[in-house]
Amino acid sequence: MKPTERQVVARTIRFPQKLRDRIDADAERCGRSFEAQVVALLRRHYGEDVDIAPTPEAILSLAHGSLLDMSEADQDLVTRRLVERPKR
């Protein structure tokens, strides 16, 4: 990315219902989710590497959920680097 370029993260894209239905039907035909189909369309049309970024809250929720079935010792092992350490 060039210093003058900004990275923009879209959080919400609204589609008219008729367009949503068309994309959804195309996604089903291609064996993709609606979101994956939108990304595929953008990549094909613009030739750019685009992706749908989850919100920070979603990322934290997934991380928290992944720890639920771990023992406390395993959780400590996995998260030990997340604890802020005192500066020397």
pLDDT on residue 59: 84
DSSP 31: T
- What is the reported pLDDT for 2? 60
Q: What is the pLDDT of residue 33?
A: 93
User: Which tokens go with 50?
Assistant: 């685009």
pLDDT of residue 82: 75
Decide if 8 is inside a domain.
Answer: no
pTM of the model: 0.52
Number of domains in the chain: 1
In the prediction, which pLDDT does 22 show? 96
State which residues form the domain around 33: 17-82
Q: Tell me, yes or no, whether 88 lies in a domain.
A: no
Q: Report d(CA 73, CA 63) in Å as an integer.
A: 17
Gyration radius of the chain over CA positions: 20
How far from each other are the two terminal CA atoms of the chain, in whole angstroms?
35
Low-confidence ranges of the chain (pLDDT < 50): none
Q: What pLDDT is attached to residue 64?
A: 85
